[in-house]
Amino acid sequence: MSSHLDVRLREGTKHSHTMAENTAFMKCFLKGVVERSFFRKLLADLYFVYSALEEELQQYQYHPIVGMMHFPELYRQANLEKDLAFYYGENWRSQIVPSKAGQVYVKRIREVSNTQPELLIAHAYTRYMGDLSGGQALRNIARSAMNLPSDRGTAMHEFEQIPTPEARREFKEQYRQALNFLPLDEAMIQKIVDEANYVFTLNRNVIHELEADVKAVIGEHIFDLITRQDQVGSTESTSKSTAVEMMGMDYSI
């Protein structure tokens, strides 16, 4: 019997989607303001987040519920290692540390894994479905803004086993079907939706910590001009702007 968890997650996180779309960092990113100095800091935080998430997902690959959402082809840790080697050099491991917000994010992943591993589903859904959707457009913006070589610098958003838009659409449909056949009661469904909203908050907090770096690159006046106007939320509006679709937060794509 279907739990309709995919719809519950999409509908239940609409407001969080819109808030994510309207962070100052993302508004600047969508305008092509992407510099190695702060982009690599974001990748470093994401490395710690994905490393923790994937370690915990692997631990529960035979769990009766979490195991049904075990898709190793989505894992990002190895690809982020390639990116970090590109931006920091071969000794990247000694150069990166998680931000304060990144530490909180990782701590939360470890906490839910130890206490209620079903909530890892919320973390995986929110991250990976965004990567497969508008994350692909963010990849293109980053490549153009930083004039990257054709095969370096954006492995984070490259899925070797799901390489084409058609393959990604098919995979996302498979993922949604897997969500819907999880044997969950109403209480757990609501907990997963609540956790997904918290994941958006954790991610926003990581991004907020980079705003000072963005402002230092473009100046306070330009920063204020770019960030003054809010985007219409893709999941709270019937018409989607191109910029909003790029966000990777609209999982209906």
CA angle 72, 206, 56 (to 5 degrees): 30
Share of the chain above pLDDT 70, in %: 90
CATH 1.20.910.10 fits 5-246, yes or no: yes
The pLDDT of residue 227 is above 90? no
Q: In the structure, what pLDDT confidence band is assigned to residue 232 with cuts at 50, 70 and 90?
A: low
Longest dimension (CA), the chain: 55
Query: Residue type for 172, please?
Result: K
pLDDT tens track for 178-188: 999 999 999 99
Q: In the structure, what pLDDT confidence band is assigned to residue 249 with cuts at 50, 70 and 90?
A: very low
The DSSP H or E segment spanning 225 is helix 220-227
Question: CA dist 150 to 2, 146, 153, 168, 244, Å?
Answer: 43, 11, 9, 21, 26
Mean pLDDT (the chain, rounded):
90
For residues 199 and 129, give the distance between their C-alpha atoms in angstroms, rounded to a whole number. 13
Q: In the structure, what pLDDT confidence band is assigned to residue 1 with cuts at 50, 70 and 90?
A: low
> Where is pLDDT greater, at 219 or 202?
202
Residue 105 known to bind ligand: no
Residue 157 known to bind ligand: no
84-93, 174-183, 206-215, 221-230: which range is least confident on average?
A: 221-230
For residues 155 and 87, give the distance between their C-alpha atoms in angstroms, rounded to a whole number. 12
Residue 17 known to bind ligand: yes
Residue 176 known to bind ligand: yes
pLDDT tens track for 87-106: 999 999 999 999 999 999 99
Q: In the structure, what pLDDT confidence band is assigned to residue 175 with cuts at 50, 70 and 90?
A: very high
> Where is pLDDT greater, at 163 or 229?
163
Q: In the structure, what pLDDT confidence band is assigned to residue 18 with cuts at 50, 70 and 90?
A: confident
